[in-house]
Structure 1
Amino acid sequence: MADSRRHAVRGHRWWRPALVGTGALLGLAAAGLGVLTLVVARTVVTPPRRKREDATIVAVDLPGRTITLGRTGDAILPGDYGLWFSGDRGYARIGEILETSADSVTRRLIEVRFGDLAAATRGRFSGWFYLSPADLGSPFEEVGIETELGEAPAWLVPSSVPTDRWVIQVHGRAVRRQETLRAIPVFRDAGYTSLIISYRNDGDAPYSPDRRYGLGDTEWRDVDAALRFAVDHGARDVVLMGWSMGGATALQAVTRSARASVVRGIVLDSPVVDWVTALRYQGELMGLPSPIRSGALEIIGARWGRRLTGQLAPIDLSRLDFVRRASELTVPILLMHSDDDGYIPPTASRALAEARPDIVTYEAFTGASHTKLWNYDRDRWNGVISGWLARLDAPDQVG
C-alpha cells in the first residue's frame, strides 16, 4: 500500500511541471492578445505621426512627363491624383494611365510641385489634388475660428455672387483641410461661400489636452464653432459636407449643435455612419481575431480604458451609430460611397439610405476607392452634387 501511495505521489509530481508550463504558455498567449488589443485601441484614437508609403516608383521621365509605378490597387485607378513621396517632402500630380503591364503602371505626370521626384523610390497616393485654394484661381482669405481650444485656421472662399448660403467642409481622419479643396468649384458655381476648416488634433488646429481622436464625438464642437463663425459673417443657410470621419463629425454636429437649425442639408463622401461597423471591417482586413476587434472597441468606449489609451473620456460608440439613430435626422442628405471603398465599407451608408429614403439621396460609385470619388469620376461627382443642391430649393424633390 505504501509503495502504491509513493507511486501516486511521484505521478502527480511528474505532471505538475507540464501543467505549470501549459498554464504559463496560456498566460503568455493571453497577455499577448491583451497587448495587441491595447495597441489596436490606441491606434484608433491616436493621430499617426507618419504615413506608410506603399507605392513603388519604378521610373520617372521628367522630359516625357511620365511616371512608372509598381502595380497596386491605387496605381491602376483611373483619374487624377496626388502623389506624396520622400517622406512627404515631395508632392506631384499624376493623371491618366498610359500603359500597364503585369507588374507596373505608367501614368501621365501632370506636374511636380516640390521635391526631387527623379530621386524618389517610394510614395503614396492621395485624393488631394490641390494644396491651397490658390491652386483653383479663386479669391480666398485665411481666417481663424475661435474654438474652445483656441483659434483654428480655416480658408474662406467667397461665392462668385453675393450670397448668404455657405458650405462648411469637414475633412477626414489623419488628413488635413486640403482634402476638401476639390469641392470648392462645384459649390462656388452653385452660389455657395466655402469655409474649409481644421479641427482638433489634425495638425493645423489646436490639440485637445489628451491629443486623441474622438471619432466625431468631440470634433463636432469645432464644427459648431465654424457654424457660429458662418452665422456671424452673414450665413443664413449652411450645408455641411463631411469626408470619411468628417462625415461622422458632421452628423454629430447636426444633431448636437445649438446652431443646427441653420443647417439645411448634409453632403457625405465615403462617410463613417457607424464606427463599430467600420472598425470591425478594418480589423477583418488586418486579419485580427474577433476577440481583439471586440476588445479594442470595449477599451475605447469604457471609462476604465482611458488610462490605457490616453483618452480623457471614453467614446460613446452608440451615439456615433446613425443607422440606429436614423430617425433623429431631419435635413436632406446626399450620401456618396464606393461599393469597393476598401477602408470604410458602404454597409452602414446603404443601411441609412434604406432607413431614411425620405431624406437620403444615395449615390453608389464602383471602383472609386475611399474618398477618391472626385478623382475617379470628376464629372459625375460634380454633377451629382450640383443637381442635389439645385433640388434643395424644392425640398419635396430631395430624397
Structure 2
Amino acid sequence: MVTRERPTGTRRIRPLNRPAPAAEPLPRAFWALAGAGAALGLASAAAATSSGLAAYFARRIVTPDRIKVEDQEILAVTGEGPERRVIMRATPETVVDGEYSIFFHGGAGHARLGRIEEAPPADMTVTRPVLTEYAGDLTAAVRARWSGVVYSTPADAGFEASEIILPLDVGAAPAWLVPAPKPSETWAIMVHGRGATRMEGLRALHAAQELGLTSLVISYRNDGEAPATADGRYGLGMTEWRDVEVAIQYALDHGARDVVLFGWSMGGAISLRAADFSTLRQYVRALVLDAPVVDWVDVLAYQARLNRIPSRVGRFGQFLLSNPWGRRVTGLTAPLDFKEMDWVSRAVELRTPTLILHSLDDDFVPAGPSLELARRNPEMVTLVTFRKARHTKEWNHDREQWEATVRSWLADQLEPRPAAGGRVV
C-alpha cells in the first residue's frame, strides 16, 4: 500500500507592541475633510475593484484553461491487476456512484475507475477499483483531476478508428473517424465541451455504432488540439460552429446523406448554433445534447453566484463580453451576442428535433433553462432528466439509462421519412 502523510504546520505568534504616545488632537474641520476624502477614495477603490473583478470574470469565461487543476486527493493505491484499488478523499465528485476517470501528473497520467466499493462516512474516503491504467504511474500520484472521460482513444472503447484532419479556416484540426460496422447514410458528429477534448465524445460511440452511425469525433479551435485563433479565446459557440460545419461537409463528401450532432455543455451551444446558422443546416437531422448551454446569461449569472461575485459585477462582466468596447479587456476579436444564443427566448425558432439529457443536480450548468426550452417547444424538444449526476456525467452515473434513451429516441428520428411527391428518404 502506498500512503500519504500530511505535513504538519506551525503557527507563528506576533510580538505585542507598546502603544505610541497620544498625539495632539486635530481641528474638527480637518476630520470633516479627511472623512470626505476617505469616502471618495473608498468609493473609487470599490469601483476599481468591481471593474477589475468583472474584467477577470469576463476573461476567465472565454480563456481556455491551459493548466487543469488537480484538486482530488489520492490517499492510497493498493493491489495489482484485477485487485488494483484506489482510495481517495470523499468529495462531492468522488461520492457519486458510476464509472469515471482521473488524470494526474499534469495530465500525463490517466486511469479509469469503476463503481464505489467502499465509502465509510467516518473515514471520509472512497474506494474504487482501477479498471484501466492508460498512462502514468498511479502509485506515485498524490493528487488528481476527476473526469467523466473514461476512454483515451476509440480503441479503448473497442472500436477501430483512423485519425483524419479537418481543414478549418484556422488550420488543420485532428479528428477520429469511427466507421460503423453496418453503416447507414447518417453520420454522428461529436462536439465536446468547454475545457474538454474530443475524448469526451467517446462515451457516445456505443450508442452511435448500434444505430449504424459512422462517427466523427472532432477537435475545434482553441481546445488545445486544434489550432488557436488570433485572439486565443472561446467564442462560446459563436465561432466554433464553423468547425462543425467543416465536419458536416467532410461527412457529406464521404457518403453521408445527413448528420446527427452530439454536443456536451458548450458543445451543445456550438451544435445549436451550427443547426441554426450553418449553410449546411438542412443536413442536420437531429441534435443529441448532454447538459447543454441553452442560455449563456443564465449560466454566467449562476457561475457568478457560485464564485460569490456580486450580481452587479457579474452583469458588468456580461456587458464586457457582449459589447465592442469590452474587447480590450476580454481579448475577444469580436463581441458575443448572447441574444442569438438564448434558446429559451428563441424556443419556437428551434426546428431541429432535439434530445436533451440533463441532470437536475448539475453543478455547473443548471438544468432550469433546458426544462424551460422543452416546455416552450415540446414539438421539437424531448427532455430526459437524471438525478445525482454532476455536469456532463449523466452517462457515467447511469450509462444504461443514457444509452437506452439515445438509442430509442434516435431510432425514431432515423426512421425513413416521406418527402415531397410521396418519396421516402
Deviation at 1:21, TM superposition (A): 1.7
Instruction: Find the counterpart in structure 1 of residue 344 from structure 2.
Output: 323
In structure 1, the residue matched to 2:145 is: 124
Structure 1 CA distance for aligned equivalents of residues 300 and 173 of structure 2: 28
Deviation at 1:17, TM superposition (A): 1.5
Tell me, in whole angstroms, the C-alpha distance in 2 between the residues paired with 1:302 and 1:372.
34
Distance in 2 of aligned mates of 1:167 and 1:111: 27
In structure 1, the partner of 2:78 is 61
Q: 5+ residue gaps in structure 1?
A: 1-9
Q: How does 1:133-148 map to 2 (within 5 A)?
A: 133-148=154-169
Give 2:178's aligned amino acid: V
Q: Does the residue aligned with 1:108 lie in a helix, a strand or coil?
A: strand
Measure, in 1, the Cα distance between the counterparts of 2:226 and 2:243.
9
**Does residue 57 of structure 2 align to residue 73 of structure 1?**
no
Counterpart Cα distance in 1 of 2:273 and 2:416 = 22
Amino acid paired to 2:62: V
Which string of whole-angstrom CA distances, capped at 9 and with x for unpartnered residues, describes residues 166-190 of structure 1? 0111000011100000111111111
Cα contact 2:323–2:335 (8 A) shared by 1: yes
Letter of the 2:120 partner, please give it. S
Kindly tell me: are residues 36 and 277 of structure 1, through their superposed partners in 2, closer, same or farther at Cα, counting changes over 3 Å? same
1:294–1:101: structure 2 CA closer, same or farther, 3 Å change rule? same
Q: Does 1:17 align with 2:38?
A: no
| Partner of residue 39, structure 1 | 56
Alpha-carbon distance in structure 2 between the residues aligned to 1:93 and 1:32: 43
Structure 1 pair 340/17, CA: closer, same or farther in 2 (3 Å)? same
Q: Residues of 1 paired with 2:382 and 2:334: CA distance?
A: 34
Task: Confirm whether residue 82 of structure 1 aligns to residue 87 of structure 2.
Answer: no
Counterparts of 2:112 and 2:160 in 1: how far apart (Å)?
22
Indicate which of 28, 44, 50 corresponds to 2:67.
50
**What is the deviation of 1:11?**
4.7
Task: Please state whether the residue corresponding to 1:343 is helix, strand or coil.
Answer: coil
- 2:228 maps to 207
Q: Secondary structure at the match of 2:251?
A: helix
Q: Deviations over 1:54-105 (max 9, x none)?
A: 2111111033311111010111111111111122121111111111122111
Q: Which residue of 1 aligns with 2:295?
A: 274
What value does the CA root-mean-square deviation take over the aligned residues? Answer: 1.3
Q: How does 1:205-284 map to 2 (within 5 A)?
A: 205-284=226-305
State TM-score, norm by structure 1. 0.95
Aligned equivalent of 1:93: 112
1:27 aligns to 2:44 (yes or no): yes
**1:152 positional shift:** 1.2
1:243-283 Cα offsets, whole Å, 9 max, x none, are 00000000000000000111111000010000000111111
Structure 2 counterpart of 1:194, one-letter code? S
Partners of 1:324 and 1:54 lie apart in 2 by 37
Report the identity percentage.
45
Q: What pairs up with 1:307-386 in 2 under 5 angstroms?
A: 307-386=328-407
Q: Distance in 1 between matches of 2:368 and 2:118?
A: 34
| CA deviation after TM superposition for structure 1 residue 395, in Å | 8.6
Whole-Å Cα distance in 1 between the matches of residues 300 and 59 of structure 2? 13
Letter in 1 for 2:358: H
Distance in 1, Cα, partners of 2:225 & 2:286: 26
How many matched pairs? 387
Moved more, 372-381 or 387-396: 387-396
CA contact (8 A) 2:134 2:152 kept: no
How far does residue 353 in structure 1 lie from its aligned partner after superposition? Answer: 0.3
Determine the C-alpha separation between the residues in 2 that align with 1:114 and 1:259.
39
- Superposed CA deviations along residues 191-246 of structure 1, whole A, max 9, x for unmatched, are 11001111100011111110000000110011111111111111102101110000
- Helix, strand or coil for the counterpart of 1:271? coil
Amino acid at match of 1:205: A
Residue 294 (structure 1) aligned to one of 286, 306, 315 = 315
**1:168 pairs with 2:189:** yes
Structure 1 counterpart of 2:10: none
**Shift in CA distance, 201/162, structure 1 to aligned 2, threshold 3 Å:** same
TM-score by length of 2: 0.89
Separation in 1, partners of 2:146, 2:209? 27
Find the aligned partners of 2:205 and 2:115 in 1 and give their Cα distance. Answer: 23
Which residue does 1:4 correspond to in 2? Answer: none
- Structure 1 distance, partners of 2:48, 2:411, is 57
**Aligned-partner Cα distance in 1 for 2:177–2:107:** 26
In the alignment, the residues of structure 1 paired with residue 396 and residue 40 of structure 2 have an alpha-carbon distance, to the nearest angstrom, of: 54
Q: CA deviation at 1:394?
A: 4.8
| Pair 1:13–1:333, CA change in 2 (3 A) | same
Could you tell me which of 286, 301, 304 is aligned with 2:325?
Answer: 304
Once the two structures are superposed, what CA deviation does each residue of 1:363-388 show, in whole Å capped at 9, x if it has no partner?
00001111111111111111000001
Partners of 1:95 and 1:366 in 2: how far apart? 19
Task: Identify the residue that residue 3 of structure 1 maps to in structure 2.
Answer: none
Q: Gaps spanning 5+ residues in structure 2: where? A: 1-26, 418-425
